[in-house]
Structure 1
Amino acid sequence: MYRTITRGIAVSVEPSFLQDESKPQERYFMWAYRVRIENNGTETVQLRARYWRITDAGGRVQEVRGEGVVGEQPVLAPGKAFEYTSGCPLPTPSGIMVGSYRMVAASGESFDVAIPAFSLDSPHEAVRLN
């Protein structure tokens, strides 16, 4: 599990390789990732937007921006959490993802919350520690 905390907002990510949805012979590798966002701060916040930077094993970078997550813009009061699962296909057997969420506090202030960098590893490539 990967985890970061920004201004009392904890983001945890747990990726998993989806063997049954992958087609290695066709250079198609699929992962799911489960995200938990916890408001350990003192202000109610709303997740308005997401940003992802996805890098495959060949060094190709894809950036994804959009409103909310999985069709929602959750509001998190202090002590509350929101969880969702999404997916990421790559043309290579490994990669890395990192990003941020744009939050808006009840005061109207906007700020970014870091999503930890996490590794997308499959059994089709040996894991190399850098």
Structure 2
Amino acid sequence: MYRATTHGITVTVTPTYLEDQSMPDDGRWVWAYTVEIENGSRQTTRLRSRYWHITDATGHVEEVSGPGVVGEEPQLAPGDSFTYTSGCPLGTPSGFMRGHYRMQQEDGTLFQVEIPAFSLDVPARQRVLN
């Protein structure tokens, strides 16, 4: 679990390797990540956009941005939280992601909230000794 708090907004990310959707022989590894966004501030805020910086084990970087998350622009009153799950394929068995959300307060003020950097790693497999 990875966590960061910015301006009273806490973002917690939990990545999970999806072995059943990965095809290592074809150079494809897939992870799901669950994000919880908690509004610990005293103002209602709305998530307007996201930005992801994704780096694989070779150093290859992909940047992804767009409105909202999973087709939504959730509004969070003080004390509210919003949780969603999304996914990320990589061409290597490890990498990491980081980014930020663009949030908007009721008065129209825009601000950025950090998404903590988190690791995408294939779990260690048990080795059999002969």
User: Equivalent residues in 2 for 1:2-17 (5 A)?
Assistant: 2-17=2-17
Cα distance in 1 between the residues matched to 2:39 and 2:67 = 19
Q: CA RMSD in A?
A: 1.0
What TM-score, normalized by structure 1, do the two folds share?
Answer: 0.94
Q: Deviations over 1:22-72 (max 9, x none)?
A: 000000000000000000000000000000000000000000000000000
Deviations 1:55-106 (A, max 9, x none): 0000000000000000000000000000000000000000000000000001
**Percent identical residues:** 58
Alpha-carbon contact 1:93-1:124 (below 8 Å) kept: no
Residues in 1 aligned to 2:9 and 2:60: alpha-carbon distance in whole angstroms = 30
Report which of the two structures shows the higher radius of gyration computed on alpha carbons: 2
Partner residue in 2 for 1:60: 60
The corresponding residue for 2:24 is: 24
Report the AA paired with residue 83 of structure 2: E
How many residues of Structure 1 are paired with residues of Structure 2 in the alignment? 125
Q: Is the 8 A contact 1:38 1:80 kept in 2?
A: yes
- In the TM superposition, what are the counterparts of 1:39-78 in structure 2 within 5 Å? 39-78=39-78
Which 4+ stretches in 1 moved above 2 angstroms? none
**Unpaired segments of 5 or more residues in structure 2?**
126-130
Query: Matched residues in 1 for 2:124 and 2:62: separation?
Result: 22
Letter in 2 for 1:39: N
TM-score relative to the length of structure 2: 0.94
Q: Secondary structure at the match of 2:42?
A: coil
For 2:70, give the aligned amino acid.
Answer: V
* Residue 84 of structure 2 corresponds to residue 84 of structure 1: yes
**Aligned-pair distance for 1:107?**
1.4
8 Å CA contact 1:49, 1:65 repeated in 2: yes
How far, CA to CA, are the matches of 2:61 and 2:55 in structure 1? Answer: 4
